[in-house]
Structure 1
Amino acid sequence: MAETPSISETSLKQALTERLKATHVEVIDESGGCGQAFTCIIVSPEFTGLRVLARNRKVNTALKDEIAVIHAWTAKCKTPAEWAKETGASAAPDTAAFAT
């Protein structure tokens, strides 16, 4: 029998950073720690030129296995330029996201 993967804020952040080349990821466990409901902000250059639905499909494809075991999932997908405009931050990649 296949083991259910352990889903956490950290594992989702790592997966999004790697699979979508995200420059900024914020993940919040809304379930009180049981790993069943997450909200996140994902900033990736891979969203450039895509409409909201296409961005969300890209995220859902990247996290197919993880989303299959999560009860509730909300993602806000931004390009680096959109994120910079919204937050006043630089559009340059967040080097902390790539720290090991």
Structure 2
Amino acid sequence: MGMTKEKVEAALISALEPVHLQVVDTSGGCGASFEIEIVTGKFEGKRLLERHRLVNAALAEELKQIHALSIRKALAPSQWNPPPQEPAAET
């Protein structure tokens, strides 16, 4: 069995303590490729290459089973604009 989305998420959460994390299995469920979006304070003051290296280090074991990893966003919290929340429906 290939890598699971949950294993990738767990490794990133453990190592990088993100305030936002989105992991998408782009391989159709076989766990061969993933796309991630991550926002963490550990990226503050770091260049993009350093951020990608932190992600790759956090996923060192998982990458042995993953064919492709696309890091769509690797942002510090100060750079991130979360999507606006939907207003609560009035009753």
Confirm or deny a common fold (TM above 0.5): yes
Displacement after TM superposition at 1:7 (Å): 1.7
Q: How many residues align?
A: 83
Unaligned runs of 5+ in 1: 90-100
Unaligned runs of 5+ in 2: 85-91
Q: Percent identity?
A: 37
Structure having the higher Rg: 2
SS of residue in 1 equivalent to 2:61 = helix
Question: TM-score normalized by structure 1?
Answer: 0.76
One-letter identity of the residue aligned with 2:70: T
Displacement after TM superposition at 1:88 (Å): 5.0
One-letter identity of the residue aligned with 2:76: T
Displacement after TM superposition at 1:43 (Å): 0.7
SS of residue in 1 equivalent to 2:30 = coil
Question: TM-score normalized by structure 2?
Answer: 0.83
RMSD (Å) for aligned C-alpha atoms: 1.6
Q: Which runs of 4+ in 1 moved over 3 A?
A: none
